[in-house]
Chain A
């Protein structure tokens, strides 16, 4: 069974757009961050899927294997995952501060309080 050659990329784009929709359509700040994480993980998937070689194995050199997938996207995404968790932590801290200042984490409520000042 063979899939059309671009199929994994299209699935990844659909996932990416679900995350993007969450970021712009949800008013709840925590749900926005979850959407951002979904978007981010989908970008990781896009990079990793480009590094895959048909019939290849994980890029750990061992006897008995000759075809390996490309290690370069793996390295880039390892860095990106760690940077991603750093931004998530910072966003979570900001949400806690926003809740402390406004008493809510709903975007519309925050705007309403800002405008009534």
Chain B
């Protein structure tokens, strides 16, 4: 049953991506990209990553859609046909995709409990995390306690991006007033 649901959501995801690929209207593409984010949040739930699903639904489907809609509102909505001949990008994409598929061939099967990733620190966090940090949610325990400095670095990235956005857009408003 779980496999069937996963298969259904993955095919919806593929269909949405193909639909976005064919679109030339910016607003519709942004809305469908929001749908794509929401569907991928569904896949995250099916793969037991509930924290990631929550964040993706809020940030990917919510904030990202609003940002891109605001960008379209300030620029132009319609787009022309693709400018490059689609042949060369198609070849590049096919070759890259084939190389990546070749790379998956010696990966452990999906859901295999014996995969190398499940033999390293992951089980330690699951065993010791709740006792060491007092948080039953191991993802929160790792994020805020074991790897708290990484999260601090992440907020630095967000601060830098915010400064960049403010610097870019503040200059624009002053420029408009001058003209």
Contact = CB atoms under 8 A, between A and B. Distances in A.
Nearest to A85: B59
A14 B125 contact: no
Interface in A1-48: 1-3, 5-11, 13-22, 24-28, 30-31, 33-34, 37-38, 41, 44-45, 48
B49 A53 contact: no
Given A34-B68, A60-B137, A94 B55 contact: no
Nearest to A86: B161
A48 to B, nearest CB: 5
Contact of A81 (B18, B55, B168): B55
Contacts of A84: 59-60
Interface string B37-51: 100100110011111
B150 A73 contact: no
Nearest to A41: B40
Q: Is the interface of A mostly helix, strand, loop or mixed?
A: helix
Q: Is the interface of B mostly helix, strand, loop or mixed?
A: helix
Contacts of A15: 13-14, 17
Contacts, number: 282
B49 A73 contact: yes
Contact of B161 (A27, A74, A89): A89
A69 B48 contact: yes
A11 B10 contact: yes
Interface string B99-136: 01100110111111101011001100110011000001
Interface in A40-72: 41, 44-45, 48-62, 67-72
A117 interface: no
B29 A86 contact: no
Interface string B1-33: 001101100100110011011010010011001
20 contacts: A3-B110, A8-B110, A15-B17, A18-B17, A21-B93, A27-B84, A30-B75, A34-B68, A38-B20, A53-B48, A62-B136, A72-B125, A74-B139, A82-B154, A84-B60, A85-B64, A86-B162, A89-B161, A90-B161, A97-B169
List 3 A-B pairs, minimum CB-CB distance, nearest first.
A5-B109, A86-B161, A54-B111
